[in-house]
Structure formats: structure tokens, C-alpha cells
Amino acid sequence: MHMSWPHQHLSRRRALTTATGLATGAVLPPAAARGPARAAAAAYTNPVIWQDFADIDVIRVGDTYYASASTMHYSPGAPVLRSYDLVKWEIAGHSVPVLDFGAKYDLNGARGYVRGIWASSLAYRPSNRTFYWLGQIDFARTYVYTATAVEGPWSRLTTISTPYYDAGLLVDSDDTLYVAYGNTTISVAQLSPDGRSQVRTQQVFTTPSSVGTLEGARFYKINGQYYIFLTRPANGQYILKSSSGPFGPYTMRQVLLDLRGPIPGGGVPHQGGLVRTQSGAWYYMAFVDAYPGGRMPALAPVTWTSDGWPVVQLVNGAWGTAYPSPAVPTPPRQVTPMTGVDTFDGTTLKPKWEWNHNPDNTKWSVDNGLTLRTATVTNDLYWARNTLTHRIQGPTSTATVQLDHSAMRDGDRAGLALLRDSSAWVGLKRDGGTTRVVMVNALTMDGSWNTTGTGTEVASAPVSGGRIWLRAGADIRPGAARPGTFSYSTDGSRFTRLGPAFSLGNDWRFFMGYRFALFNHATQALGGAVRVTRFELFTP
């Protein structure tokens, strides 16, 4: 059970960074930039994304960069981010459309909190112009999904009986598929040409006891050498190098240890992966533990020693808070911001949204507005299906929703939560034909993710009419006071604070950071509904 391995937990968050410097992850000779390189805006600041995207695997395909991340129990899983400059990113899609790995991911008799999508790998195979996602689930088996475009559709290619823990997928220069994986004992597997099965697997490295734990593999071939990039949770990064092929032997070198990071109060940048720009420059995209918000991607330039080892470029002995922007061709368009307004236009959810476990798809719809029909009868939000989540933007941000509650029924609970293993919410309780707006805190789970508190109402006010605006603010700066605050409005402009500040928890063991969450569940009987017509996420 992974819960007994805190170090492996720690690293799982960083593990998602595989891929390759090239589209193939293969040999990388110096290459000319395609199109005019620009000095770009003079500098960028870290974190490049102040949202929770852990275990990054970053690749470049042509002039476009892609990254994948861990999502645990959220569905759809394994988001794919897209960028044209390594600095500004958008969410393009998800590699795992549904967590169909057992009833617990449907909140059906069991729960999948902190299981599901851990450190996994994203790669591109030029020979068939296909993206591959590979990851193990529940220490049981490995799943491979493919798509010809990251937006999807993604489909399951195969399952492999070997669980490749914290895997890194390499598409070699001869098109052979290899996987590096493991914790402390590192192995390499070769897949069949169609990627559907394992041809062989072999242990290639045992971590010295002086280092401890290594995991979070990323697998590269660079200038004819094979490299396995590994994390020491949660404060180090090491690299293995082989001149004799993918199965070694490998020698090890430390890349960083206890390096000061770019987020005050946050942790050491680690895990993640290496990527090469069109002009031949190298970057390391890692993440920084920065709870309560989660694990935030940070970017630093990398140079190579004459004998082929990577060196992270530091600023005053630390991972820089700012660096010169990568020189890349002018982007073809602006990426979609991760903040702003969503009116749920069209008939599908945008990829920035993820459900808490798989939704009951008969109980929600998007049609120029989001309708959430009650899907669960429970007094426990952690058991309620169809809770829709959005990452919090750091360092501080506010989410506001406009909610039509006229179709709620007695016993229904609907609102906007700050959701994690310790949660609070502002929203509506309908009982005895009357509706109140309330602030509830003390929703808690223990370290095995069993509910220990279903919430305490600490403030309320009567409401009339069928429309309300709910607002939650979150300060996710680590080491600070970490307050979450709640308010409501009946006209969309004048907001009334409701309840005391909620202290956001900053323990790492839940891995995922706090999220804004839209919910509607019944405590008596199904049949009620709410409609969300607007969601706005903004920073001060």
C-alpha cells in the first residue's frame, strides 16, 4: 500500500516528467531554429504555472511543447498542457478520459482518493505521428493510451501486466519503445513494436544507500547516450548515464540537492523533465512543493558538461525566480489563459475542469450553462458524485459563481467549496421549503482518506429568489496564514462576507492541492438541480 511509503508519495508528485528532448526523445544534435528566434519578453518568472501540475513530463513536437501531470482521483485524468514558449501554458486535453479502473473511482462502495493517476509518461512517436501516455494504476498493471492529437480522442491501446512505477517512456531513434521505471531499484523494459506488450525487462541500477530513494524516471537518448533522470523525494535530482545502450551499465551523478526554490516557504524544485528547444537550448521543468496549493511547475535553463552531464543554471546559488525567456519562434497564437470567465458556452466542459472521481454522466449537462442534478444521497461531500473542480491560481485568487437554485429540493446542499482532505464551503441548504446561504467548515478526512468530519455550519443568512452569487478566496502562499474566505451576493456586485476565515491545510500527504469545487448533492432524495451560468477566476 503506497500510504506506508511517504518518500514514494513525495516523489510520485514529481514523477510525471518523461518524454524526450525531441519529439522522439531520441538523438539530439544541435538544430537550427525553425523561423526567426526572438529574444522574447526579456525574462520570465517562476513558477511558470502557479497551479497544481505535478510530476511533469515535458516534450517538444515541432514548434509545440506539451506536458503531462498527475491527477490522482480526479477525472478525466492526466491533463496535457500545451505551450509555444515553455512559459505560457494552456490545458489542451486529458490522456485518460475516464478512470475505469474499478468501482472505487466511481465512488461506488469505495473511494479512490490519492490513488489513480500518479507519475506517468507522455511521448510522441514520429513514425506513426501518435502521442503515447503510459502509467501504472494501483500497483496492479500499466495502461497505455494513444491519440493523434492531444485534444483527443484518446483511446486505450493496451494493458501490460507489469506495473511500471513512476515510468518514463523513450521512443528511441530506431523507433524502439523503452520504459524506465522503479523505486530505488531501477529497471528498463523494452516494448513490442506495436507498443502493446513487454518484450523484456531488466534491472539496470540499484540506488546506493547513501542516496536513499530514487524514483520518478524520465528516459532520454541524447547524442547517442542513454539517460535516466530520477528524483530523490523530495529534495534531490539525479541522473544515470549509459554509453552502452538502454540496458546499461549506468553511472550516476547528482544534479541538485537541497536547492533553494523560487517560491518563498516552498520546497526544493525536483522531478519533472528535460526538454530541448528548436535552437538547441535545454531546460528543466520541475515542480515545487508549495502547499496548500499543491506542486507548481518551475523552469530553469540547463547546460551540459563536456563529458555529457546536465547542469542546472542557478541564480545566486538558487533556482532562479527569473531567467531570460527561451528564444523560440513567434508563437502562432496566444494560449488560453488559465484564469478568467467561463460561461459554460457550448455543450462540453472545457479541459480545465476535472471531476472528483468519475461523474455520473446522466446527472449533469452543459448547454450554455452547467446543470448539476443531484447524483448522490449523502451527508458527506467526500462521498458525493459530480463535484466539479478547478485548480486554484496562486499566490492568491478568487472564484465567483453565479448559481440558479430555484430547482433545489428539500435536503439538497449546493455550493462552492475549497476542497481537499480538510474542506469548507459556502452555499445553499434547502430544508422545509426554505433556502439559506451558509458557510460550513470542518469537513475532514484522516490519513487513510476516511471521512472524520462531515461539516459544521458556522454562519447562515436567509435568501429569497432563485439566483445567488457565491465567492471563495484562497491565499495559497506556503508558510503564510493560508486563509480561505467566503462571501455571497444577491445582485452580483455587493458581496457579504459569511463566516470566519478557513485555514487551508498544508500537509503534503494528500498530494493534490486545494481546488475550487462546485457541488450539488442530496441528503434526502434525488431529483433536485442547480444551474451554474458563470464561473470567474481572477487574481488581485
Per-residue pLDDT tens for 280-338?
Answer: 999 999 999 999 999 999 999 999 999 999 999 999 999 999 999 999 999 999 999 99
Q: Which fold has domain 340-538?
A: Jelly Rolls (2.60.120)
Q: What is the pLDDT of residue 479?
A: 85
Q: What is the pLDDT of residues 55-104, one digit of tens each?
A: 999 999 999 999 999 999 999 999 999 999 999 999 999 999 999 999 99
The DSSP code sequence of 27-55 is -------SS-B---SSEEES-S--S--EE
Q: What is the pLDDT of residue 25?
A: 37
Backbone angles phi, psi at 8, to 5 degrees: -70, -30
With pLDDT > 90 as the criterion, what percentage of the chain qualifies? 92
Question: Span 390-396, mean pLDDT?
Answer: 98
Question: Span 252-279, mean pLDDT?
Answer: 98
Q: From CA 428, how far away is CA 426, in angstroms rounded? A: 7
Examine the pLDDT at 28 and tell me if it is beyond 50. no
3-state secondary structure 217-264: EEEEEECCEEEEEEEECCCEEEEEEECCCCCCCCEEEEEEECCCCCCC
Q: What is the pLDDT of residue 23?
A: 35
Which cell numbers hold the place of 372? Answer: 448539476
For the chain, what are the domain ranges? 2-324, 340-538
Q: Note if the bond before 47 is cis, omega within 30 degrees.
A: yes
With pLDDT > 70 as the criterion, what percentage of the chain qualifies? 92
Q: What is the pLDDT of residues 357-386, one digit of tens each?
A: 999 999 999 999 999 999 999 999 999 999
Q: For residue 169, how far is the Cα from the chain centroid? A: 18
Q: What is the mean pLDDT of the chain?
A: 93
Examine the pLDDT at 3 and tell me if it is beyond 50. no
Q: What is the pLDDT of residue 480?
A: 80
Examine the pLDDT at 140 and tell me if it is beyond 90. yes
Task: Give start and end residues of each alpha helix (H) in 127-168.
Answer: none
Q: From CA 122, how far away is CA 144, in angstroms rounded? A: 10
Q: What are the distances in angstroms from CA 195 to CA 33, 285, 340?
A: 31, 27, 40
Q: What is the pLDDT of residue 365?
A: 98
Q: What is the pLDDT of residue 41?
A: 52
Answer with the residue of higher pLDDT: 457 or 4.
457
Burial class (CB in 10 A: 0-12, 13-18, 19+), 444: middle
Question: Span 398-421, mean pLDDT?
Answer: 98
Burial class (CB in 10 A: 0-12, 13-18, 19+), 41: exposed
Q: From CA 326, how far away is CA 41, in angstroms rounded? A: 9
Cβ–Cβ under 8 Å, residues 67 and 81: yes
Fold match between domain 2-324 and domain 340-538 = no
Q: What is the pLDDT of residue 341?
A: 98
CATH architecture for the domain at 2-324? 5 Propeller (2.115)
Cβ–Cβ under 8 Å, residues 86 and 277: yes
Q: What are the distances in angstroms from CA 391 to CA 165, 264, 308, 418, 439?
A: 26, 20, 38, 10, 21
Examine the pLDDT at 495 and tell me if it is beyond 60. yes
Examine the pLDDT at 8 and tell me if it is beyond 90. no
Examine the pLDDT at 39 and tell me if it is beyond 80. no
Q: From CA 329, how far away is CA 128, in angstroms rounded? A: 26
